[in-house]
């Protein structure tokens, strides 16, 4: 006899209530393991949810436009009985006829080892808390049951294990419970901060614009909605400053143009942004505060020992910030290929959540459009963001200091110096003033300017 198997949304990170944008199967379709079932879009990213088993689609539980979260049932599969025994779905139960049959969960090695202890039982948390979990039994020290791995995880997160609601057997605290506690605390803090900000700041008064002339509504794109919330959070929570500087990139531009033909032969485009990325990686090595994040307690820094850079990409629905990883370890040609492919996927709305996570520093370039300077908003929890404006020609004095060019009568001595045209790149460095002070920002920008002025420094 066949089994009915529910295919659910797996763990997709911190995303909730994401929109179903496309159904990839229909009732009666025969699908294989890992075949895509639906396509969802959340927080600037589009991803496909695969099937965890092979079978025939018996029922669709969602439609286009519905919103789903982790654990939401997507489809029901009719599967062979032997396949049903070997398949381990993401949900905790498999529907068999009219009954629910528990399925053994996957347990990592550390949790499995801790389950061997006589006083600790191992169980994966279910969505409905068990009767045993509702009546937790403390261990001999009066603390909730938890494996050594879970206790270490609690110490690393700074979460009191005795105040965390356990969902395992006998109230056992699992790693998922600790992660959920951290997410809940952040959500409560965000609501409290935004709520207090709304109470303290008078709202913008509503005004009927139709009295002044014809109007029409234009809805915000999904990217604008997601970005707006994140930018508003950063603006409310981060005391931001912006330091403006410029770099003489005359030699760098000559170096880039000399290699343009070589890059073209490989089907690549060498943009100035690639060299800025390499220069930023060099300077971040010397200024660790610029690749750090404040802890939730605001008492220490988490310094990232990796050099993943977020790069703003302009799309038809707004800006997205995919992450280019290990910039310090990649050459210019390799970065050119990766950045080109990533930008193309961003404009085609094919980025996954993983493509948008993990940056330690962000670069936003408006050089291809224009402008002389701007103040980008720090992408919290990062501590700094670099803005690039359009390069321009500026005269630069070459010769002795002007004060040395005056004769005894105060007149200029002719022919002792001259202005020469130089290509300069405007730099706008915004930073979290709780972590970085003005002097550090000025040193960072000055060092970046020196590296960009001498392309060979990128090879050192």
Greater confidence (80 vs 302) lies with 302
8 is catalytic: no
Q: What is the mean pLDDT of residues 42-63?
A: 82
Whether 249 has a pLDDT exceeding 60, the answer reads yes
437 is catalytic: yes
Whether 459 has a pLDDT exceeding 80, the answer reads no
Q: Give the pLDDT confidence score for residue 389 in this predicted structure.
A: 96
Q: Which residues pair with residue 254 across a beta bridge?
A: none
Domains and CATH numbers, the chain: 3-102 (2.40.50.100), 116-178 (4.10.320.10), 223-399+417-459 (3.30.559.10)
Greater confidence (64 vs 403) lies with 64
CB 391 within 8 A of CB 367: yes
pLDDT in tens, 275-306: 999 999 999 999 999 999 999 888 899 999 99
**Share above pLDDT 90 across residues of the chain, in percent, rounded to a whole number:** 35
Average pLDDT, the chain: 79
Of the candidates 108, 360, 404, 407, the residue annotated as catalytic is 360
Whether 106 has a pLDDT exceeding 50, the answer reads no
How crowded is residue 184: how many other Cβ atoms within 10 Å of its Cβ?
11
Of the candidates 14, 78, 314, 433, the residue annotated as catalytic is 433
Whether 11 has a pLDDT exceeding 60, the answer reads yes
Q: What is the mean pLDDT of residues 100-113?
A: 43
C-alpha to C-alpha distances, 109 to 14, 114, 149, 174, 179, nearest whole angstrom: 25, 9, 10, 14, 19
Q: Give the pLDDT confidence score for residue 411 in this predicted structure.
A: 56
Could you tell me the two tokens for 12? 């997709």
Least confident among 146-150, 204-208, 370-374: 146-150
Q: Is 31 exposed, middle or buried (0-12, 13-18, 19+ CB in 10 A)?
A: buried
Greater confidence (21 vs 359) lies with 359
Alpha-carbon gap, residue 176 to 165, rounded angstroms: 11
Alpha-carbon gap, residue 456 to 137, rounded angstroms: 65
End-to-end CA distance of the chain: 68
Q: What is the mean pLDDT of residues 22-49?
A: 81
Whether 57 has a pLDDT exceeding 70, the answer reads yes
Q: Give the pLDDT confidence score for residue 133 in this predicted structure.
A: 45
Q: What is the mean pLDDT of residues 215-224?
A: 84
Whether 197 has a pLDDT exceeding 50, the answer reads no
Alpha-carbon gap, residue 70 to 47, rounded angstroms: 14
Whether 87 has a pLDDT exceeding 50, the answer reads no
pLDDT bracket for residue 107 (50, 70, 90)? very low
- ∠ Cα 328 330 336 (to 5°): 120
433 is catalytic: yes
Using H for helix, E for strand and C for coil, what is the string for the chain?
CCEEEEEECCCCCCCCCEEEEEECCCCCCEECCCCEEEEEEECCEEEEEECCCCEEEEEECCCCCCEECCCCEEEEEEECHHHHHHCCCCCCEEEECCEEEECCCCCCHHHHHHHCCCCCCCCCCCCCCCHHHHCCCCCCCCCCCECHHHHHHHHHHCCCHHHCCCCCHHHCECHHHHHHHHHHHHHHHHHHHHHHHHHHCCCCCCCCHHHCCCCCCCCCCHHHHHHHHHHHHHHHHCCEEEEEEEEECHHHHHHHHHCHHHHHHCCCCCCHHHHHHHHHHHHHHHCHHHHEEECCCCCCEEECCCCCEEECEEECCEEECCEECCHHHCCHHHHHHHHHHHHHHHHCCCCCHHHHCCCCEEEEECCCCCCCCCCCCCCCCCCEEEEECCCEEEEEEECCCHHHHECCCCCECCCCCEEEEEEEEEEEEEEECCCCCHHHHHHHHHHHHHHHHCHHHHHC
Q: Which residues pair with residue 323 across a beta bridge?
A: 310
pLDDT bracket for residue 20 (50, 70, 90)? confident
Whether 215 has a pLDDT exceeding 60, the answer reads yes
Q: Give the pLDDT confidence score for residue 44 in this predicted structure.
A: 56
Q: Give the pLDDT confidence score for residue 435 in this predicted structure.
A: 96
CB 120 within 8 A of CB 138: no
Least confident among 23-37, 180-194, 283-297, 325-339: 180-194
Whether the full predicted model's pTM is greater than 0.85, yes or no, is: no
Q: Give the pLDDT confidence score for residue 288 in this predicted structure.
A: 96
| Closest C-alpha to 147, from 114, 181, 108 | 114
- The angle that helices 250-258 and 272-286 make with each other, rounded to 10 degrees, is 130
pLDDT in tens, 417-432: 688 999 999 999 999 9
């Amino acid at each position: 006899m066949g089994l009915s198997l529910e295919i659910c949304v797996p763990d997709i990170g911190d995303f909730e209530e994401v929109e179903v944008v496309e159904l990839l199967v229909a009732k009666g379709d025969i699908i294989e393991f890992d075949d895509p079932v639906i396509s969802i879009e959340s927080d600037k990213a589009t991803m496909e949810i695969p099937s965890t088993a092979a079978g025939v689609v018996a029922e669709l539980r969602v439609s286009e436009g519905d919103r789903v979260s982790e654990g939401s049932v997507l489809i029901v599969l009719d599967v062979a009985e032997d396949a049903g025994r070997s398949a381990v779905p993401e949900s905790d139960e498999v529907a068999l006829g009219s009954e629910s049959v528990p399925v053994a969960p996957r347990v990592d090695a550390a949790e499995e080892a801790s389950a061997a202890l006589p006083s600790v039982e191992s169980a994966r948390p279910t969505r409905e808390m068990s009767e045993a979990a509702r009546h937790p039994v403390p261990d001999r020290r009066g603390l909730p049951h938890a494996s050594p791995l879970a206790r270490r995880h609690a110490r690393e997160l700074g979460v009191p294990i005795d105040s965390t609601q356990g969902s395992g057997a006998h109230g056992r605290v699992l790693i998922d419970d600790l992660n959920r506690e951290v997410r809940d605390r952040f959500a409560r803090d965000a609501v409290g901060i935004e709520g207090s900000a709304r109470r303290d700041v008078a709202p913008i008064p509503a005004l009927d614009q139709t009295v002044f002339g014809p109007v029409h509504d234009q809805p915000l794109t999904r990217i604008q909605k997601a970005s707006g919330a994140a930018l508003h959070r950063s603006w409310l929570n981060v005391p931001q400053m912006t330091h403006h500087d410029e770099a003489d990139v005359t030699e760098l531009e000559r170096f880039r143009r000399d290699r343009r033909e070589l890059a073209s032969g490989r089907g690549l485009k060498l943009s100035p942004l690639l060299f800025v990325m390499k220069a930023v990686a060099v300077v971040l090595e010397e200024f660790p505060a610029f690749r750090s994040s404040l802890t939730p307690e605001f008492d220490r820094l988490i310094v990232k020992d990796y050099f993943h850079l977020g790069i703003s990409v302009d799309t038809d629905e707004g800006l997205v910030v995919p992450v280019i990883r290990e910039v310090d370890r990649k050459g210019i040609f390799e970065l050119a290929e990766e950045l080109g492919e990533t930008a193309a996927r961003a404009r085609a709305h094919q980025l996954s959540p993983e493509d948008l996570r993990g940056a330690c520093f962000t670069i936003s370039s408006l050089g291809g459009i224009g402008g002389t300077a701007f103040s980008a908003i720090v992408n919290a929890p990062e501590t700094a963001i670099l803005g690039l404006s359009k390069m321009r020609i500026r005269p630069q004095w070459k010769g002795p200091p002007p004060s040395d060019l005056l004769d005894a009568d105060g007149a200029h001595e002719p022919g002792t110096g001259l202005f020469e045209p130089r290509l300069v790149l405007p730099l706008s460095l915004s930073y979290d003033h709780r972590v970085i002070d003005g002097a550090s920002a000025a040193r960072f920008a000055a060092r970046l300017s020196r590296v960009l002025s001498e392309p060979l420094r990128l090879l050192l």
